[in-house]
Amino acid sequence: MRRVLAGPICSGLLTIILIAGFAAPVWAHAVLVDSKPKANSVVAGQQLPLWLRFNVRVDGNRSKLRLIGPDGSSVTLDPTRQTSPDTLESHAAGLKPGAYKLQWQVLASDGHISRGEVDFTMK
């Protein structure tokens, strides 16, 4: 009797484990894993390349970038290219010394919108 039930039970458990293992990455929201400039870094120059890398694919066409300057003014930046499905790139010019916030909003591969910001200082 035990042998007869062991096959269907093991098969059912294996199916649940496989479904759970493949479903988990699908529900992962976009999380920023790396950036240039780095969070809380001090950078120099008036021209600044911006690069963001996420833990999942993001839709570059539906992503938004905004740079908040030391005086509170904001500039919307267009992502200039997407060299990899998990990255966004742009650039900022004419930056003056002070504290900045790079705010980002991305549409992740799971269909959810994620938001965050990277603080840095221009010297």
Domain boundaries, the chain: 29-122
pTM for the structure as a whole: 0.75
Q: Quick one: fold of 29-122?
A: Immunoglobulin-like (2.60.40)
Contact by Cβ (8 Å): 39, 120: yes
pLDDT in tens, the chain (123 residues): 555 545 555 455 444 444 444 444 445 689 999 999 999 999 998 889 999 999 999 999 999 999 999 999 999 998 887 889 999 999 999 999 999 999 999 999 889 999 999 999 999
Report the half-sphere exposure of 37 (CA within 13 A, side-chain side): 23
Question: What are the residue ranges of helices labelled H in 1-123?
Answer: 2-26
